[in-house]
Amino acid sequence: MLYALCFLLFMIGLYCAVVKKNMVKIVFGIMIMEYAVNLFLIMLGYHFGGVAPIIDKSQFDPGTGQIAGSFLNNSVDPLPQALVLTAIVIGLGSLALMISICIRTYEKYGTFDITQIRRLKG
Report if residue 31 sits inside a domain.
Answer: yes
Residues whose CB falls within 8 Å of the CB of residue 87, separated by 6 or more in sequence, listed in order:
34, 37, 38, 41
The CATH number linked to 105 is 1.10.287.3510
Euclidean distance between CA atoms 40 and 17, whole angstroms: 19
pTM for this predicted structure: 0.78
Report if residue 99 sits inside a domain.
Answer: yes
Per residue of the chain (122 residues), give pLDDT as tens: 889 999 999 999 999 999 999 999 999 999 999 999 999 998 887 767 666 666 655 656 666 656 666 666 666 777 888 899 999 999 999 999 999 999 999 999 899 999 888 887 65
Query: What's residue 46's pLDDT?
Result: 73
Report if residue 54 sits inside a domain.
Answer: no
Report if residue 35 sits inside a domain.
Answer: yes
Euclidean distance between CA atoms 102 and 100, whole angstroms: 5
Query: What's residue 61's pLDDT?
Result: 61
Report if residue 28 sits inside a domain.
Answer: yes
Report if residue 65 sits inside a domain.
Answer: no
Q: For residue 112, what are the domain limits? A: 2-46+78-119
Query: What's residue 63's pLDDT?
Result: 63
Half-sphere exposure of 66 (CA within 13 A, CB side): 5
> Could you give the number of structural domains in the chain?
1
Report if residue 58 sits inside a domain.
Answer: no
Query: What's residue 73's pLDDT?
Result: 64
Euclidean distance between CA atoms 85 and 68, whole angstroms: 28
Report if residue 69 sits inside a domain.
Answer: no
Query: What's residue 51's pLDDT?
Result: 60
